[in-house]
Structure 1
Amino acid sequence: MGSSSTNLLNVAIEHHRSGRLVEAERVYREILSREPNHADAMQLLGTLADQCGHHQQGVELISRAIQISPRPLAGWHNNLGEAHRKLKQFGEAEAAYRRAIKTDAKHAGAHNNLGLILQETGRTSEAVREFERALELQSDFAETHRNLATAFHRLSETKRALHHLRRAVQIRPSYAKAQHALGLLLHETGDHDGAI
């Protein structure tokens, strides 16, 4: 990769991180017009496409980037899994998350996302193990605490579900989904004062 492509990629990434998605897409495409097999730009363009709701395009671009890269990163497989998950292609998503974990066993996001797929496909006990592994790797992962609470609730383990919902809200007080779930579960258990 030439220095001008590296500079352009850095510009595109900054646009992407700052939410300037149109500008990021333009620069990713400029890089790919110069270097059609630029795996980093292709993977990031695929991730951007997925984020913008173009999930199939995301799958195609990220898959191609993984094919042409000598060493695709775990995050690439995780991003591919996310695009598949949004398309309800659960088998493909699970396979991508497992490849991410095989590439980097310490990728907390991939463990969390694999847990979501396992839960979605009725394998709640397996999902619990993945969520717990994600939390071993990143204990302040509020979304995983909420996901684990959902799994425990499905397994009728209310105390454990409450613990993880409280932890999610403690980590991120503005986390509305966790606050809502906590309120509902407290109401369900008869703790109406706590539910307010």
Structure 2
Amino acid sequence: MATVSEALSIALDHHIAGRVAEAETLYGRILEAVPGHPGASHLMGLLLAQTGRAAAALPHLNAAVAGDPASPTYHLNRGKVQNALGRTAGAAASWLATLRLQPDHAEAAERLATALRLLAETAFDSGALASAAALYERVLALDPQNLPAAFDGAMAAKGLGRLHEAARLGGLAARLDPTLLRARMAEAEARRALGQTERAIAALRPAVALDPAQGGCWASLCLLRNDLGQRGAAVVAGRRAALAAPADTGLLVRLAAAQRIAEKPRPAPAAERGGLSLDPASAVLHLAHGVPLDAGHALAGVG
């Protein structure tokens, strides 16, 4: 008769080979013979979670943690299932337990950081956001090529008003993945706020070269060129923004602002008129266009 260890090894072989039904049957038999067996409970929980049964998996993972609370892996995987079930606070507690047992566990640090950032966004908790930012730095110290940690760290730093940190991490994320345009935008926004206009423009140039249809990048370039007094270049960038997103009234307002600052008076830009035709009740567009709102339009824009 096979020992528990031998039976668990056979079940795990089935599990790894994708013979899910056989593995589940053997895990079940082991747990009938030894209720709460940590290894069998953990593997049964993983199998159930992997086959779309997260709610059924959690009691098994709870049992694994209760049976062997010194296992970082058990806490880590319980946190994953808790997170899948929307229990973010519980998941964060599990990943914190993982880090207490294994401080250099990069995956647990990254997952905990992301959970804290989400909790901070919903509860407006700057303390949780600061903890998340510190954890992202910890992840990058352990794994300097970790793209999610770099980008999410930039977002956390931005939320805390740490602009130098946001610019640095946004730039790192862009270097790790040159196609991640959001990273270039994050770096450019931080550098513009720091008054580093030329560096902000340099961050955006590869983005528009990679994808000329990025209206948001062109709109940011429009504002940056205005900051430098480069009116003609600002108008060109604004027009590219309007061409990329002709239905986006916000981008059209940026074009209008760039053209209005230019010294040569001219009729209202075609893109701006197009914005009014798309959204005739837009108070912002009317102000940019220089057309007064009548009482009906004014009321339509309220609320």
Q: For residues 152 and 230 of structure 2, what CA distance do their matches in structure 1 show?
A: 31
Residue from 158, 183, 192 that aligns with 2:267: 192
Identify if the C-alpha distance between structure 1 residues 114 and 192 changes in structure 2 by more than 3 Å, giving closer, same or farther: same
Maintained 8 Å contact 2:110/2:136 = yes
Q: Which one-letter code corresponds to 1:48 in the other structure?
A: L
CA distance in 1, matches of 2:214, 2:148: 17
Bigger radius of gyration: 2
Q: Which residue pairs with 2:131 in the alignment?
A: 60
> Within 1, Cα distance between the matches of 2:257 and 2:146?
39
**Structure 2 counterpart of 1:180, which letter?**
V
TM-score normalised by structure 2 residue count: 0.51
Select the residue among 126, 143, 148 that pairs with 2:221.
148
Is the CA contact 1:111–1:134 (under 8 Å) kept in the aligned structure 2? yes
> How much identity, in percent, do the aligned residues show?
13
Q: What SS is found at the alignment partner of 2:235?
A: helix
Q: CA–CA distance in 2 between the matches of 1:75 and 1:132? A: 22
Question: Is 1:162 the equivalent of 2:235?
Answer: yes
Q: State the shift of 1:49 in Å.
A: 3.9
TM-score where L is the length of structure 1: 0.73
* Cα distance between partner residues in 1 of 2:189 and 2:173: 15
- Residues matched between the structures, number: 182
Task: Say yes or no: does 1:27 pair with 2:87.
Answer: yes
5+ residue gaps, structure 1: 13-25
Aligned residue type for 2:244: I
Residue 159 (structure 2) aligns with = 86
- What amino acid is aligned across from residue 111 of structure 2 in structure 1? A
Q: Which has the higher contact order (CA 8 A, sep 6+)?
A: 1
Shift of 1:120: 1.7
Q: Which residue of 2 aligns with 1:48?
A: 118
Please tell me whether the aligned partners of residues 137 and 153 of structure 2 are also in contact (alpha carbons under 8 angstroms). no
Distance 1:109 1:165 in 2: 19
Alpha-carbon distance in 1 for matches of 2:125, 2:212: 32
Distance 1:172 1:49 in 2: 33
| Separation in 2, partners of 1:101, 1:30 | 32
**Alpha carbon RMSD of aligned pairs, Å?**
3.0
